[in-house]
């Protein structure tokens, strides 16, 4: 009988991949209202999508990219959003996903009759957004100061929840404390910074935006009334 001086290596056991539902739950569990987590997991499982939580972006809070070539459909959400804003933004992007899926099904079903692509925030998206949001419209998910404002907003949702003054203001109550304020709260001719970069001076209101002069370049911009800005006097 021969004895080996070397011990044989134990077989390498690869960890089993976590079920898709568990992966979703691990990503969203701490970012959504507790009562919304399980239903959201089931919604995503029904129509799977590549979901990614990213760092703060000043230009947008969420993004949807339709499948292209070998790349699957993808949603990105800012991880800095409070849990109520995160839920609304995620459902907003899922509505885009559902509209894209339905459009693809229609093309396959009626291949001889080309159907025009739905508008990004047209009637199909509005209907999908309202339908997907419906299960969350209760006091177990949203607090009393957000729920009625959200229900009113859903009657005719805009491209961004931040464009709705009342909803944006209600959601901001649950953001971490910061030193910013809404542009509309500043007096006429006030000097402020936007995203801590360029310096502006506030001028007259034009519908839902304010005409602002960039003091760095002397160019004129229209800035949303609800834009988070910092009063120049507060940072001197």
Q: Nearest to residue 87, comparing CAs of 143, 163, 156, 20?
A: 143
Enter the tokens of residue 44.
């995503």
Any residues with CB less than 8 A from the CB of 68 and at least 6 apart, and which?
none
Any residues with CB less than 8 A from the CB of 42 and at least 6 apart, and which?
21
pLDDT of residue 7: 42
pLDDT in tens, the chain (236 residues): 333 333 444 444 444 446 888 888 988 999 999 999 999 999 999 999 999 999 877 778 999 998 888 888 999 999 999 999 999 999 999 999 999 998 888 777 665 455 677 888 899 999 999 999 999 999 999 999 999 999 999 999 988 777 788 999 899 899 988 778 889 999 999 999 987 678 999 999 998 899 999 999 999 999 988 888 998 865 44
In the chain, domain spans:
20-172, 181-235
What span, in angstroms and rounded, lies between the C-alpha atoms of 105 and 107?
5
Whether the CB-CB separation of 115 and 177 falls below 8 Å is answered with no
Task: Give the DSSP H/E element, type plus range, for residue 74.
Answer: strand 74-78
Please name every residue paired with 214 in a beta bridge, in sequence order, or none if there are none.
Answer: 200
pLDDT of residue 109: 66
What span, in angstroms and rounded, lies between the C-alpha atoms of 172 and 118?
31
pLDDT of residue 36: 96
Q: What is the pTM of this model?
A: 0.72
pLDDT tens digits, one per residue of 128-149: 999 999 999 999 999 999 999 9
Residue 202, Cα to own-chain centre: how many angstroms? 28
CATH of the domain spanning 181-235: 2.30.30
pLDDT of residue 170: 94
pLDDT of residue 130: 96
Whether the CB-CB separation of 73 and 64 falls below 8 Å is answered with yes
pLDDT of residue 18: 62
């Amino acid at each position: 009988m021969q004895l080996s001086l070397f011990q044989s290596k134990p077989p390498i056991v690869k960890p089993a991949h976590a079920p898709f539902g568990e992966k979703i739950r691990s990503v969203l569990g701490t970012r959504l209202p507790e009562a919304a987590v399980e239903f959201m997991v089931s919604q995503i499982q029904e129509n799977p999508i590549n979901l990614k939580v990213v760092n703060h972006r000043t230009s947008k809070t969420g993004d949807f990219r339709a499948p292209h070539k070998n790349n699957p459909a993808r949603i990105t959400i800012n991880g800095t959003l409070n849990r109520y804003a995160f839920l609304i933004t995620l459902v907003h992007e899922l509505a885009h996903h559902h509209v894209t899926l339905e459009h693809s099904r229609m093309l396959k079903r009626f291949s001889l009759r080309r159907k025009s692509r739905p508008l990004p925030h047209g009637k199909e998206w509005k209907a999908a957004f309202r339908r997907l949001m419906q299960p969350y419209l209760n006091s177990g998910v949203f607090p009393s100061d957000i729920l009625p404002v959200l229900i009113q907003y859903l009657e005719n949702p805009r491209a961004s929840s931040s464009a709705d003054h009342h909803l944006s203001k209600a959601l901001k109550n649950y953001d971490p404390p910061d030193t910013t304020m809404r542009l509309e709260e500043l007096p006429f001719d006030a000097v402020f910074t936007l995203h801590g970069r360029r310096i502006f001076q506030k001028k007259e209101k034009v519908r839902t935006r304010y005409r602002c002069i960039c003091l760095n370049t002397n160019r004129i911009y229209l800035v949303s009334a609800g834009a988070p800005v910092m009063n120049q006097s507060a940072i001197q």
